[in-house]
Amino acid sequence: MITLRGLTKRFGATVAVDVLTVDVAPGRVTGFLGPNGAGKSTTMRMILGLDRPTAGQALVGGRAYRELRRPLREVGALLDARAIHPARSGRAHLRAMARSNGIPAGRVDEVLDIVGLDARAAAKPGRTLSLGMGQRLGIAGALLGDPPVLMFDEPVNGLDPDGVRWVRQLTRTLADEGRTVFVSSHLMSEMQLTADQLVVIGRGRLLADAPVAEVIAGSGVAVRVRGPHPDGLATLAAHLTAAGATVEPAGPDELTVTGTTADRVGDLAHELGVRLHELSAHSASLEQAFMELTADSVEYAGGPTGGGTR
């Protein structure tokens, strides 16, 4: 269990994390989401004792990280895949970690096998490792002490599709074993497939702490309407708007409608004599729900694409 209570971090006048209170429970994958600059990395660093909170607490298993006698046996973390001496091999890196925490040397080979790094890859110095290999080595380090709590910051960076699927399966397996798994990522599609629970923050503040399905459901359902007659669709759109729905053109023969149901759209089209070729409901994606949740928390918003000045 990871417990955050009123966790706050200020850097001068900047509030990076703002009174964050969250329980990250065992037995499930908890996704940690937020725009760039939202405070995710700072939060993880405070959990691991790398940054001191300005106020509040960050506890692992009911204790602060600095109180853990052999921390790798309590919590494993991947925050920076490049955090390895450039001249030291991956195997030597893991052996040093194991020795410092009283972990048997044989465990090094076990975790290298788990993450798919063979003897040749494990013998390479850190400066020669690809980003993907570095990610796998970092995950091996997190698993080294067989801890009940695991934290991964962007674990699929640099991995190919097979590696991404492997990380998904690994995190699910770890959670199914009853461990606490806390994963930060910008890949919404991957979080939608992997996570059970989501913690979403923006500008350091908690925006959502709920199951994935609940977060997505909060974004509603979009109804796709397609028909052969633009004038008929325009009439339908006007009546839907008057009834309180939101209608957006998606092309000359297509509308996207939110704020109502497909049944109501179909009934209204029938009453108006508007011919339709398609009427279908589509649940929102996690990406859409995330964008709506964090719309007021984006630090750097891009402008319209195309037609830029030279």
| Res 289: pLDDT | 87
Residue 301 pLDDT more than 60?
no
Tell me the pTM. Answer: 0.81
CATH superfamily of 2-212: P-loop containing nucleotide triphosphate hydrolases (3.40.50.300)
Q: What is the pLDDT of residues 21-55, one digit of tens each?
A: 999 999 999 999 999 999 999 999 999 999 999 99
The DSSP element (H or E) to which 149 belongs, if any, is strand 149-153
| Res 51: pLDDT | 96
Tell me what the pLDDT averaged over the chain comes to.
91
Residue 310 pLDDT more than 70?
no
Tell me the domain boundaries of the chain.
2-212, 221-283
In the predicted model, what is the mean pLDDT of residues 144-167?
Answer: 94
| Res 207: pLDDT | 96
What class does CATH assign to 221-283? Answer: alpha beta
Q: What is the pLDDT of residues 191-230, one digit of tens each?
A: 999 999 999 999 999 999 999 989 987 777 789 999 999 9
Same fold, 2-212 and 221-283: no
| Res 218: pLDDT | 77
Spatial CA neighbour of 135 closest among 188, 100, 185: 185
Q: What is the pLDDT of residues 64-74, one digit of tens each?
A: 999 998 999 99
| Res 299: pLDDT | 63
Return the higher-pLDDT residue of 217 and 145. 145
Residue 303 pLDDT more than 70?
no
Please provide the DSSP assignment of 80-137 as one string: -TT-S-TTSBHHHHHHHHHHHTT--THHHHHHHHHHT--HHHHTSBGGG--HHHHHHH
